[in-house]
A and B are shown apart, each in its own frame.
Chain A
Amino acid sequence: MEPSTQKLIHTFGALADLGQEIAGTGDFTEMVRTSMHLLLGTLALRRGAVLECSGDGPLRCVALWGVGDQALTDFDISDAEKEGFIGCEAIEWLVQNASTTNGFLNRYRAKLVENGIELVLPMIVRGEVTGLVLLGGKASGEEFSTEDFETIRAMVRHIGVGIHTHRLLEQVAQRAQENRRLYEEMRAIYRDTIRAFAAAIDIKDKYTQGHSERVGRYSEIIAREMGWSEDEVEGIQIAGYLHDVGKLIVDRNIINAPYNIDAKLSNELNRHPMAGYEILAPIKHPYADIPLMAKYHHERIDGRGYPDGLTDEQIPLGAKIVSLADSFDAMTTDRPYRRRRSFEDVVRDLRESSGKQFDGKVVAAFARAILKEVNGETKERRITKMLGKDYLEGEHVSTLLQDLITDLSHEKAQKAQN
């Protein structure tokens, strides 16, 4: 094979490898190091270095070969010196060129010569010098040819673009990380604000303090048991916290009435889901359907709920979950006109209300979640904490829940058959 053909094949191979290396998304330093090796290997240059401009500080040595580790550090370059490299010709890259007006070369000539560096080339991307490539002589001892300069120029341009692209990607990743952090902070602030708001809602009702917070937690537990994603679980927790926000417009005396209220007052109280929707709808929540969950948390599967009398499939699943969490908390806490009910009684009620007031699937999920906690399968005892430690005591609790789950699954199977 003709030496010129062989050289061409060798150079093309190196250029192809260089393109692949630069397009990769691997480690930045490794990319620069490999690119430099490709350049050195193409012309068999014995030493080289890649220096990166890093703000106003000294040039940063990213890759080095054939020269001592500390030999090519502490180079400074001014903006004017960078400008001096733009548009310069091959002759001006030569370290030995004493006629150059480039301040950088004149200042560091002795140091470069001492370390066997013969060429200094700028990496120029979008009209800016992003760094310098320092190259030693050819292993053959020959002078650089015009073709060599062309090859070097092309490869250095590639390396410059590679460095520039990697830096841009790093900046994008950094900004994305910063945005993520800010977003998380905003979400935390949002959650804390909502919880404070929930506490404010509950303060209006002296008998149900902590109700909204508990409904939020029960809703979260049910949703998680139903396999919802973390985002959806967070959303329904917020919906739980805010489900009674409409009560803010209801007269305090109606909410705190120590007796079963009459139809007129009941109508007034029943305005709160719609009022809640109107309060929440204009707010841009980071989670979907929160206003609808507040609006429909008093709807029933059998269509006898309010405000719209929706039936089963028309009611959003989130609203069904909040509805169950809301009722469960109402049944298991003292009210002005009654003591809280026993767990046995509550389970019976849930069983009877499944398919009428509540969705059986939601009740079954809640029962499974409580059962897991009763059986010690969960890290925390969150439901027990909310109900008080004696409420779920006793072997019968587990049996009650198991029976409820079995009944509901039979019912579901039967429904599917029909």
Chain B
Amino acid sequence: MDTPSGKLVRSHCVGTTAVVYASDYLNKLTGEKIERECRRQLNCGCRALVIDFSDTKLVNSIGISILLGIIDVAEKNGAPIVFSEVNHPTVELFEMLGLTRHVVLAKDEREALMNLSRYETTPVVH
């Protein structure tokens, strides 16, 4: 979808799961865009979230804080959340900071969707 700032946050739905793609550097600007997109997807009726980090090289402190906010919102909505294709240093960072206590890490998007398929109900119409 097109964000107000004009930059694109890629996302698509697979059944009732929204897949949102994080950018190469997860900081304040890009983090807030991803957060808005996740909220939008949940408001539209998505029941689960996959955040794909295949393009992401670096996550800074603000990125961590924003991801925690997304986890919070997802939990409040009862939506399970999976982080897919996270690079090794970022996995270490997530583990060190305890994010992995709240999200499942998947090797790739396919594995993430399979992991979430047990939550699948009716497809979402946007």
Interface flags, A28-40, vs B, CB<8A=1, else 0: 0000001001111
Q: Could you write out 6 A-B pairs with CB less than 8 Å apart?
A: A7-B96, A10-B97, A17-B62, A41-B62, A138-B98, A140-B97
Contact assessment for A41 and B65 in the assembled complex, using a CB-CB cutoff below 8 Å: yes
Query: Of A7, A39, A41, A142, which is within 8 A of B60 by CB?
Result: A41
Binds B, one of A42-50, A95-103, A320-328, A331-339: A42-50
Q: Which of A41, A45, A47 has the most C-beta atoms of chain B within 10 angstroms of its own C-beta? A: A41
- Nearest-CB residue, chain A, relative to B99: A139
Give the contact-size bracket for chain A. 20 to 34
Also in contact, A37 and B99, with CB within 8 A (given A1-B89, A6-B92): no
List 6 tightest A-B contacts by C-beta distance, closest first.
A140-B98, A41-B61, A44-B97, A41-B65, A41-B64, A14-B61
CA distance A14 to B28 in the complex (A): 12
By a CB distance below 8 angstroms, the chain B residues around A138 are 97-98
Contact assessment for A141 and B101 in the assembled complex, using a CB-CB cutoff below 8 Å: yes
Interface SS majority for chain A = helix
By a CB distance below 8 angstroms, the chain B residues around A139 are 68, 71, 97-99, 101-102
Also in contact, A65 and B96, with CB within 8 A (given A14-B60, A46-B72): no
- Nearest-CB residue, chain A, relative to B28: A34
By a CB distance below 8 angstroms, the chain A residues around B92 are 1, 3, 6
Also in contact, A46 and B61, with CB within 8 A (given A1-B89, A3-B96): no
- Nearest-CB residue, chain A, relative to B98: A140
Also in contact, A66 and B68, with CB within 8 A (given A44-B98, A141-B101): yes
Contact assessment for A17 and B97 in the assembled complex, using a CB-CB cutoff below 8 Å: no
Residues of A whose CB lies within 8 Å of any CB of B are 1, 3, 6-7, 10, 13-14, 17, 34, 37-47, 65-66, 138-142
Contact assessment for A40 and B98 in the assembled complex, using a CB-CB cutoff below 8 Å: no
* Min CB gap A22→B, angstroms: 14
Q: Which of B81-101 contact A (CB under 8 A)?
A: 89, 92-93, 96-99, 101
Query: Of A3, A13, A14, A65, which is within 8 A of B69 by CB?
Result: A65
**How many of chain B's residues have a CB under 8 angstroms from any CB in A?**
21
* Min CB gap B109→A, angstroms: 24
Contact assessment for A66 and B69 in the assembled complex, using a CB-CB cutoff below 8 Å: yes
* Min CB gap A66→B, angstroms: 5
* Min CB gap A179→B, angstroms: 36
By a CB distance below 8 angstroms, the chain A residues around B64 are 40-42, 44
By a CB distance below 8 angstroms, the chain A residues around B96 are 3, 6-7, 10
By a CB distance below 8 angstroms, the chain A residues around B71 are 139
* Min CB gap B92→A, angstroms: 6
Also in contact, A66 and B61, with CB within 8 A (given A37-B28, A140-B97): no
Query: Of B61, B68, B72, B89, which is within 8 A of A38 by CB?
Result: B61
Interface flags, B54-73, vs A, CB<8A=1, else 0: 00000011111110110110
Q: A7-B96, A13-B60, A41-B68 are in contact. List 12 more A-B contacts (CB 8 A).
A: A1-B89, A3-B96, A10-B61, A13-B61, A17-B62, A38-B61, A44-B64, A66-B68, A139-B97, A139-B101, A139-B102, A140-B97
CA distance A232 to B124 in the complex (A): 69
Query: Of B63, B72, B89, which is within 8 A of A66 by CB?
Result: B72
By a CB distance below 8 angstroms, the chain A residues around B98 are 44, 138-142
By a CB distance below 8 angstroms, the chain B residues around A66 are 68-69, 72
Contact assessment for B61 and A34 in the assembled complex, using a CB-CB cutoff below 8 Å: no
CA distance A348 to B71 in the complex (A): 87
Contact assessment for A37 and B97 in the assembled complex, using a CB-CB cutoff below 8 Å: no
- Nearest-CB residue, chain A, relative to B73: A66
CA distance A138 to B92 in the complex (A): 16
Q: Which of B65, B93, B102 has the most C-beta atoms of chain A within 10 angstroms of its own C-beta? A: B65
* Min CB gap B4→A, angstroms: 16
By a CB distance below 8 angstroms, the chain A residues around B63 are 41
Query: Of A6, A10, A37, A142, which is within 8 A of B65 by CB?
Result: A37
By a CB distance below 8 angstroms, the chain A residues around B102 are 139
By a CB distance below 8 angstroms, the chain B residues around A34 are 28, 62
By a CB distance below 8 angstroms, the chain B residues around A1 are 89, 92
Contact assessment for A40 and B65 in the assembled complex, using a CB-CB cutoff below 8 Å: yes
By a CB distance below 8 angstroms, the chain A residues around B28 are 34, 37
Contact assessment for A6 and B101 in the assembled complex, using a CB-CB cutoff below 8 Å: no
Query: Of B60, B68, B93, B99, which is within 8 A of A40 by CB?
Result: B68
CA distance A38 to B31 in the complex (A): 12
By a CB distance below 8 angstroms, the chain B residues around A13 are 60-61
Contact assessment for A6 and B66 in the assembled complex, using a CB-CB cutoff below 8 Å: no
By a CB distance below 8 angstroms, the chain A residues around B93 are 6, 10
Contact assessment for B65 and A38 in the assembled complex, using a CB-CB cutoff below 8 Å: yes
CA distance A13 to B93 in the complex (A): 13
- Nearest-CB residue, chain B, relative to A18: B61
CA distance A7 to B62 in the complex (A): 15
CA distance A339 to B66 in the complex (A): 84
CA distance A66 to B68 in the complex (A): 8
